[in-house]
Structures are given as structure tokens and as C-alpha cells.
């Protein structure tokens, strides 16, 4: 929906936001949902005007009726007065009725919008809009090799339809029961992960407590632009040691602010081992809402010197973005720190509902399947902006394709640079929030700061509890007595 701007003197007219062939912006102050909220607020204000005009019409009609009595005494002047007041009553009534009709039309438009959104969500989940077989064919067969073009949407549709798919598969019950039981009546991938870690032999993926240990603190000149912060995440990811970074920023006239950088999934050796940002970390992020990593991040902030109530900005790529967004929904974290802004890149965060007043920006690429893993699109609200990058990308020659070129951190860093240059009203408003939080508004993003790296370590698996022998059952192994 277009924004409203003053043009031609004092006339308010709709103006389309600047076109960008790469950035597709959803949500924020220029989003449909927020503008409908503004329209509804306007409709409520119009109701107040209607009530005022109702009073005016009633009082004017009372005056007109009293003039009939006066006309008996003033035959020469009473008639014209009655006509004049009557014309005023009719004019006020017409204005009142027109305003009431406008308010009703705004509300009707909002109802139609909500109905359409709800219908589309239901139709997707039952396979009417995006049939599973067609989506799977396009995902695994129709895409150009090495590009994964369009994966984000197709994966999101398929995950949303898991109940439908699980119910239609003619597979042994023992194989489908965990998934079917988990998703019955639900659409949340979290339930699926909870069922998976409950399967015998996969318990090592179940999250365990995480501790944070300071590695080193350095004084640096840090670029606080979103693109530069993402590239710092690449350094943490490449190290593969389960490290996060906490940046202390001195803001002019606003005290201290903090930035938390959380990298994407690192290869666990073995998975579910000591590194909490490995494959098992995905289960913690999506299945347990980062219940074990969030306390470790709080511990790292305290160790770095953060005081209760100070402002925090969280930045994460892939799995790290889910952990960052989960901070925005964690009551214990929000009770201690003032989380102002969350920036994610290539992260499935549609199922996370942040606390009130927390702004977030989410970058997703059409060629990246990872943001679709939770099967839920990001909410369209005033404080939440989703940018879909629609430029075609390929894996550089000689580089490991990994999850595809759309998921590369550099792809998102370049997207963040485009976001910074955009004049889209939603992106301008979002940039103002993060600039205010970091104290970079009106000045360079290159600032002196303290950077502290923390190593996160997952608690070791508990030793298996020896099972007492069952009476009457022969022992096996070394302790068995052979005849």
C-alpha cells in the first residue's frame, strides 16, 4: 500500500514508495496492516464527528420546530428563518451520513482484508493454493541445479502442509506416528522437533544447559551498519567454536548500548556435542524457543558489564537469527534488558511473536529455503519489517554451495547495503529505530567500541543410568554365567 504525503499545497494524496527491483518490503509503517490500523483509527475518529453532528442536527431541528410557534407572531420573518434552519439541518444531515458511510466502508475493507488473509492461510494448509505434489516437484525437479530458485516460498508451503502430507502418506504407522501426532491440529514446526528428539536414539539432539565463558576483550573501531555487523557474524561462524560477540557502544548523551552477534549453524563434532550452535542448536531455537541459549546470552551480557535496563540490539544469521528473535519473546530477558531491535538474515522466525515495542527487520532471499523452515510467514505489523531479496544469485566458482547461494551471509550483507540505501518508508522508519538505539543517527557508523567474544559450551550428556537386572531374565555379556 502506498504511503500518504502532502502534495499540491495542503492536499493529502497517496504516493507510491520508491521502486526497487530487488527489495520486496512487507510490514512496517508502509505495510498494509499498519495502514489499516491507521484507517480504523480514522474511522473511530469519524464516529466521534458523526456523534457531534447528530447533536447539531437534533438541536437545529429543535430550533426549527420552535420557529413554527414564533411564525404565528412574526408572519413576515418567521417563514424565511424556518427555511434557512431547515436547509442547515439537511446539510448537516448529509455531511453526517456521508462521514458515517465512509467509516463503514473503511471497516468493511478491513473485514475483507482479514477474511482474505485468513482464507489464504487455510487454503495453503489444505493444499488448495499450493498443491503439495506440485510444490515438491518444483522444489526438487523444476529448479535450475545449483540455484534453488524460489525455495523459500515452496519450503514454507510444504512445511505448512505437513499435517496434510503426513495424513496422506501410505507409510507404516511406526514411521509416521511421531510426525502425525506432533502436527495433528497444529501448524508449528516446533511440535515436529519435539517429537523427533523423543524418538529413541535421537535424544542427543535434545537441548541441554549452556554456559558462557569470556574469551577476550578488544578495543576496536566498529562499523555499526547492519551489513558490517552481519559480516562480523561470518567471522564467528567460520571459527566454528560456538562463540558469540558482545559489543559495548558508548552513545553520545544516551549512555551505553550493547550489540549481541549470534552466528549461524556450525557443524557439530559430533552433533549434539559441546557446541550449542550446532545441529542440536536448531532444536533449541525452533523447538524450545532458545530456552537454553537465552540464559547463556544473558550471562555473557552481565560478564561484559551490561547493567539491567540498558538497551540491546541483537543480530543473527540463520539459526543465530532465531536465537536473536527468541530474545524478543523471552520474559526473563526482557525483564533484565531493554531489547530495542532485532535484525535477522535467512532465519525462520515467522512463529516468534516479539514483545510490544520491539522493532525487527528480517532479510529473506527467494532462493533461500531456510526462512521457510517454520512454515509461517512473518507477521505484518508496524514494528516488524520483512524484506525479500529477489535478485538472482549463484554460488561463486570453487565455493562449497552449502544450502545454496541465497543463504550465503555475503548475499544478505549485500542486501543489507541495499536496505540502507532504500527510501521505502518502512525501511527508513526501521533504520531510524536502530540508529537511535546505537546512537549513530546523524553521525558515522564507525565508532570506538569494546568487543568481547564468549565461548558457549553445552553441558555434557548425562551418563546412562544402569538398569537393574530383571528377575528371572538371564544376564548377557561378560557377566553372564555360561553352563
**What are the pLDDT digits (tens) for 407-443?**
999 999 999 999 999 999 999 999 999 999 999 886 7
CA dist 14 and 8 (Å) reads 12
The answer, yes or no, to whether residue 183 has pLDDT greater than 70, is no
Q: What is the pLDDT of residues 105-123, one digit of tens each?
A: 777 777 776 777 676 666 5
The helix-helix angle for 173-183 and 189-197 (nearest 10°) equals 140
Q: Could you tell me the end-to-end alpha-carbon distance of the chain, in angstroms, rounded to an integer?
A: 84
Q: What is the pLDDT of residues 388-410, one digit of tens each?
A: 998 888 888 888 878 888 999 99
H or E element that contains 269: none
For residue 166, give every residue at least 6 positions away whose Cβ sits within 8 Å of its Cβ, in sequence order, or none: 176, 179, 180, 183
Q: How deeply is 456 buried, as exposed, middle or buried, from its count of CB atoms within 10 A (0-12, 13-18, 19+)?
A: buried
DSSP string over 285-319? IIISTTTTHHHHHHHHHHHHTPPTT-EEEEEEETH
User: For residue 211, is it left (φ>0), alpha (ψ between -120 and 50) or beta?
Assistant: beta
The three cell numbers locating residue 74: 412574526
Helix (H, G, I), strand (E, B) or coil at 233: helix
CA dist 16 and 38 (Å) reads 17
Beta bridge pairs of residue 252: none
Cα dihedral value 143, 149, 154, 156, nearest 10: 150
Percent above pLDDT 90 for the chain: 39
The answer, yes or no, to whether residue 178 has pLDDT greater than 80, is no
Residue with cell 456521508: 98
Q: Can you point out the beta strands (E) in 224-297?
A: 243-251, 255-262
| Model pLDDT, residue 464 | 67
pTM score, whole prediction: 0.74
Q: What is the pLDDT of residues 63-73, one digit of tens each?
A: 767 766 666 55
CA dist 451 and 292 (Å) reads 23
Mean per-residue pLDDT of the chain:
79
Q: How deeply is 278 buried, as exposed, middle or buried, from its count of CB atoms within 10 A (0-12, 13-18, 19+)?
A: buried
Q: Would you tell me how many other CB atoms lie within 10 Å of the CB of residue 368?
A: 28
464 or 126: which carries more pLDDT confidence? 464
Beta bridge pairs of residue 388: 24, 364
**294: nearest Cα among 344, 247, 269, 260:** 260
CA dist 143 and 151 (Å) reads 9
The answer, yes or no, to whether residue 244 has pLDDT greater than 80, is yes
| Model pLDDT, residue 479 | 44
The answer, yes or no, to whether residue 21 has pLDDT greater than 90, is no
Q: Would you tell me how many other CB atoms lie within 10 Å of the CB of residue 375?
A: 23
Cα dihedral value 343, 347, 351, 354, nearest 10: -10
**26: nearest Cα among 382, 437, 301, 276:** 382
H or E element that contains 400: none
| Model pLDDT, residue 5 | 47
CA dist 274 and 212 (Å) reads 12
| Model pLDDT, residue 129 | 54
Distance of CA 159 to the CA centre of its chain: 17
Amino acid at each position: 500500500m502506498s504511503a500518504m504525503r502532502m502534495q499540491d499545497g495542503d492536499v493529502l494524496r497517496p504516493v507510491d514508495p520508491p521502486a526497487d527491483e530487488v527489495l520486496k518490503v512487507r510490514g512496517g509503517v508502509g505495510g498494509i496492516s499498519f495502514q489499516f490500523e491507521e484507517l480504523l483509527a480514522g474511522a473511530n475518529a469519524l464516529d466521534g464527528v458523526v456523534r457531534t453532528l447528530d447533536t447539531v442536527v437534533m438541536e437545529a431541528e429543535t430550533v426549527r420546530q420552535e420557529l413554527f410557534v414564533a411564525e404565528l407572531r412574526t408572519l413576515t420573518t418567521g417563514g424565511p428563518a424556518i427555511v434557512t434552519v431547515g436547509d442547515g439541518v439537511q446539510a448537516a444531515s448529509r455531511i453526517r451520513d456521508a462521514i458515517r458511510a465512509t467509516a463503514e466502508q473503511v471497516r468493511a475493507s478491513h473485514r475483507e482484508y482479514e477474511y482474505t488473509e485468513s482464507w489464504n492461510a487455510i487454503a495453503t494448509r489444505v493444499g488448495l493454493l499450493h498443491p503439495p505434489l506440485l510444490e515438491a516437484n518444483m522444489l526438487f525437479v523444476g529448479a535450475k541445479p545449483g540455484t534453488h530458485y524460489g525455495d523459500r516460498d515452496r519450503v514454507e508451503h510444504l512445511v505448512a502442509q505437513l499435517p496434510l502430507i503426513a495424513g496422506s502418506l501410505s507409510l507404516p504407522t511406526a514411521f509416521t506416528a511421531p510426525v502425525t501426532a506432533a502436527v495433528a491440529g497444529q501448524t508449528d514446526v516446533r511440535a515436529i522437533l519435539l517429537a523427533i528428539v523423543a524418538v529413541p536414539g535421537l535424544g542427543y539432539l535434545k537441548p541441554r544447559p549452556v554456559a558462557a565463558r569470556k574469551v577476550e576483550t578488544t578495543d576496536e573501531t566498529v562499523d555499526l551498519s547492519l551489513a558490517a555487523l552481519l559480516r562480523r557474524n561470518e567471522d564467528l561462524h567460520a571459527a566454528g567454536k560456538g562463540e558469540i560477540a558482545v559489543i559495548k557502544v558508548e552513545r553520545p548523551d544516551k549512555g551505553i548500548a550493547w550489540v549481541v552477534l549470534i552466528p549461524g549453524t556450525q557443524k557439530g563434532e559430533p552433533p549434539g556435542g559441546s557446541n550449542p550452535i550446532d545441529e542440536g542448536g536448531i532444536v533449541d531455537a525452533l523447538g524450545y524457543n532458545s530456552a537454553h541459549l537465552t540464559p547463556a546470552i544473558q550471562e555473557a551480557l552481565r560478564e561484559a558489564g551490561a547493567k539491567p535496563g540498558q538497551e540491546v540490539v541483537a543480530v543473527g544469521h540463520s539459526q543465530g537469527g532465531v536465537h536473536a528473535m527468541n530474545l524478543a519473546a523471552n520474559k526473563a530477558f526482557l525483564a533484565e534488558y531493554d531489547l530495542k531491535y532485532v535484525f535477522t538474515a535467512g532465519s525462520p522466525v515467522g512463529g516468534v511473536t516479539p514483545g510490544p515495542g520491539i522493532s525487527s527487520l528480517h532479510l529473506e532471499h527467494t532462493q533461500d529455503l531456510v526462512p521457510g523452515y517454520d512454515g509461517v510467514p512473518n507477521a505484518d505489523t508496524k514494528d516488524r519489517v520483512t524484506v525479500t531479496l529477489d535478485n538472482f544469485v549463484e554460488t561463486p566458482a570453487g565455493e562449497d554451495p552449502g544450502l545454496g547461494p541465497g543463504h550465503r551471509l555475503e548475499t544478505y550483507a549485500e542486501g543489507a547495503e541495499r536496505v540502507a540505501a532504500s527510501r521505502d518508508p518502512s525501511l527508513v522508519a526501521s533504520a531510524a529505530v536502530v540508529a537511535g538505539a546505537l546512537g549513530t543517527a546523524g553521525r558515522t557508523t564507525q565508532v570506538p567500541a569494546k568487543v568481547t567474544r564468549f565461548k558457549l559450551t553445552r553441558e555434557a550428556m548425562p551418563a546412562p543410568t544402569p538398569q537393574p537386572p530383571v528377575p528371572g531374565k538371564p544376564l548377557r555379556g561378560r557377566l553372564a554365567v555360561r553352563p
